[in-house]
């Protein structure tokens, strides 16, 4: 805990919503992350499951904890929830703040290989190695190391899917709201992958859930995908969930796609169906 500084602490639904900062060795900067400790951590002998939540473009660790109301469901199910930021902060890479969908707040949960970005933009290793281990060590008295799940929204949904598929067994459960399912085939993904990974498209598929699932060889896994039918980005073919579903079915990986009529890309939509996602994760993590 020596590397952690508590930034805030608020009681909600009997538990505590906290935010910490720490010096990241992967990203070479100070990073914030949120952690919700449900009421079951107080005086409980059993260690609790954990869900990582990855936010989308333009977000910080604050969006999910202030807009979604997830704490109600985390408290009901006795699940710890961790939320990292979406990119390095304050590293001042030239051009990192020129657009909303690349650079700051848009790390895409990958490890950049292009020289300009490779030192700091290592969000995949940050989330799945550094922060994962930090949570295990700093909260070892309450965290069950064998029961981690992951979920995310939009860019974060892409991150949740890719993190699971690239690290078989690390996460027991995975779900996503309006994820970028096939980034090698959409404008957001092409822009990010060209910038972070270069022009070699053979490297892009290593960070594309639709391509990764075709060669998944790990523990049994069910993907839960939630998509608003009135989502502008869905209509504009930025998200492409049907491509992922087709890929899953081609190799026999179970997938659930819920298409929600009238719902958009916002936290109004996420908060409407969040309880279903917590029930999905709880059933797997508490089995």
Catalytic residue, chosen from 85, 96, 111, 231, is 231
Q: Annotated catalytic, 281?
A: no
Q: Which of 22, 158, 265, 277 is catalytic?
A: 265
Strand order in the sheet with 80-84: 5-12, 15-24, 29-37, 80-84, 48-54, 143-153, 173-177, 223-228, 255-260
| Residue labelled with tokens 């799945």 | 128
Give the side-chain half-sphere CA count within 13 A for 87.
27
How many Å apart are CA 118 and CA 112, to the nearest integer? 5
Closest Cα partner for 59 from 70, 50, 68, 72? 68
For 241-258, b/e burial (b = at least 16 CB within 10 A) is bbbbbebbeeeebebeee
Query: Which of 154, 163, 173, 175 is flagged as catalytic?
Result: 154
What CA–CA distance (Å, rounded) separates 29 from 198? 24
Structure-token pair, residue 77? 């199910």
Would the CA dihedral through 100, 105, 111, 115 be positive or negative? Answer: positive
Q: Is 101 a catalytic residue?
A: no
Give me 106's structure tokens.
């848009």
250 included as an active-site residue: no
* Residues designated catalytic: 154, 231, 265
């Amino acid at each position: 805990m020596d590397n952690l500084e508590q930034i805030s602490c608020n009681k909600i639904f009997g538990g505590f919503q906290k935010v910490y900062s720490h010096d990241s060795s992967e990203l070479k900067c100070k990073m914030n992350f949120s952690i919700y400790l449900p009421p079951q951590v107080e005086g409980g002998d059993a260690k609790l499951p954990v869900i990582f939540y990855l936010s989308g473009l333009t977000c910080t660790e604050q969006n999910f904890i202030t807009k979604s109301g997830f704490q109600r469901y985390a408290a009901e199910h006795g699940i710890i929830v961790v939320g990292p930021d979406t990119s390095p902060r304050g590293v001042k890479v030239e051009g990192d703040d020129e657009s909303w969908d690349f650079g700051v707040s848009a790390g895409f949960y990958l490890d950049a290989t292009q020289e300009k970005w490779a030192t700091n933009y290592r969000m995949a290793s940050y989330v799945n190695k550094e922060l994962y281990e930090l949570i295990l060590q700093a909260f070892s008295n309450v965290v069950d190391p064998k029961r981690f799940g992951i979920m995310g929204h939009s860019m974060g949904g892409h991150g949740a899917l890719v993190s699971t598929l690239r690290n078989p067994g690390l996460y027991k459960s995975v779900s996503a709201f309006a994820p970028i399912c096939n980034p090698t085939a959409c404008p957001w993904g092409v822009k990010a992958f060209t910038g972070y990974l270069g022009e070699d498209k053979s490297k892009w598929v290593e960070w594309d859930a639709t391509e990764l699932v075709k060669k998944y060889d790990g523990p049994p896994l069910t993907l839960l995908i939630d998509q608003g039918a009135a989502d502008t980005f869905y209509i504009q073919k930025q998200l492409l969930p049907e491509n992922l579903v087709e890929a899953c079915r081609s190799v026999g990986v179970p997938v659930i796609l819920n298409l929600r009529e009238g719902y958009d890309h916002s936290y109004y939509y996420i908060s409407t169906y969040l309880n279903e996602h917590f029930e999905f994760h709880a059933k797997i993590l508490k089995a």
